[in-house]
Amino acid sequence: MNKVTVNASKKYDIVIGAGLLRDAGQVIKNFCRGGKVFTVSDDNVFPLYGEALRTSVRKSGLEHFEFVFKAGEASKNLSVYSRIVENMCAAGLTRGDVAVALGGGITGDITGFAAATYRRGIAFVQVPTSLLADVDSSVGGKTAVDLDNGKNQVGAFWQPSAVICDTDTLKTLPEEEYRNGCAEIIKYGMLGDGDLFYKVKNVPVRNDYSGIITRCVEMKRDIVERDEFESGDRMLLNLGHTFGHAVEKLSGFSIAHGKAVAIGMNIITTAAVKLGLAPKGTETVLREALLSYGLPLSTTYGSDEICRAAAGDKKTVGESITLVVPTDVGSCRLIRVPVEDLKNYALAGGLK
């Protein structure tokens, strides 16, 4: 088992290894003064791992309640959020009880937001079951739901009390979800670790889940400790997300987050090379890595559509937006540009 400790506004541990779900109840008990645990999951994950978590929680002497929603980005909205907190209230949860997110990034985001706002904040524990959630969304305390206007428009910074990454849950991960997680891992390599990038480019991620997840979590830990509330360096984690979120939004979220980030990374890296901000060939090795995991490089949406969608992104401040631009494999910089100049990057990135 590997352990990474985050020293943010709340200090907590991320544990990574096989078979951790069976002891999750004992971990959760450390943060549960009220004796009740409220698990949120979706209807894909809960049938696989809900009983194991329920059993572990009850063995630790705690009451267990659960809420299961329909899987998919379409459920990450204020309506489902409202149902979660209403059910928390019906279960009699107090400020001493614990919410648990059992699932992928969508589950973690909406559960964390519910925990952050129910009775002005209760503890919550992340139990990620997807590769993308393991390496990225379960760590760092960003919680949110979507609005019709875009992703993650309503949310809060609310750090978990613990993160339990049981790599055995990845055995049931659909191939498409595996690829989505690999896109985020490639992102970590591109933004700050060339060795990690070339490792996953040449050797399948599934050959070393624990090691690769641990390295990504360490990188995120370091960035979050420097900039917990995303006023500077933490924006680096948005590599590929400005154009990627626009693709997701335009597709009605039919294009998954990891695939959209892959497209976004290719656009901004291609633009960086064309504009002389990154060495020639940087875009080529990125494309090779993405293609090796069956990830897409392009979109049918045009530059005007993409830029209109991106202009509504939460990273926009006033009339400007911060772009994460690669300067080489393993290195990125933040560039704030007027929203009206975003199209120049889109066109340089290959959009029509």
> 123 φ, ψ to 5°?
-70, 150
d(CA 175, CA 165): 19
pLDDT of residue 315: 64
CATH of domain 2-172: 3.40.50.1970
- Tens of pLDDT along the chain (352 residues) come to 999 999 999 999 999 999 999 999 999 999 999 999 999 999 999 999 999 999 999 999 999 999 999 999 999 999 999 999 999 999 999 999 999 999 999 999 999 999 999 999 999 999 999 999 999 999 999 999 999 888 899 999 999 999 999 999 999 999 999 999 999 999 999 999 999 999 999 999 999 999 999 999 999 999 999 999 998 999 999 999 999 999 999 999 999 999 999 999 999 999 999 999 999 999 999 999 999 999 999 999 999 999 999 987 666 667 899 999 999 999 999 999 999 999 999 999 999 9
In the chain, what are the domain boundaries? 2-172, 175-208+222-348
How far apart CA 207 and CA 125 sit, in angstroms, is 27
Q: What are the b/e assignments for 121-138, b being 16+ CB within 10 Å? A: ebbbbbbbbbbbbbbbbb
- At the fourth CATH level, which superfamily is domain 175-208+222-348? Dehydroquinate synthase-like - alpha domain (1.20.1090.10)
User: How far is Cα 306 from Cα 296, in angstroms, rounded to an integer?
Assistant: 16
Could you read off the pLDDT of 108-160 as tens digits, one per residue? 999 999 999 999 999 999 999 999 999 999 999 999 999 988 889 999 999 99
Read off the pLDDT of residues 1-34 as tens digits, 9 standing for 90 and up. Answer: 999 999 999 999 999 999 999 999 999 999 999 9
User: CA-CA distance, 275 to 203, in Å (whole number)?
Assistant: 31
Beta carbons within 8 Å of 329's beta carbon, 6+ residues apart: 189, 190, 194, 197, 198, 282, 285, 286
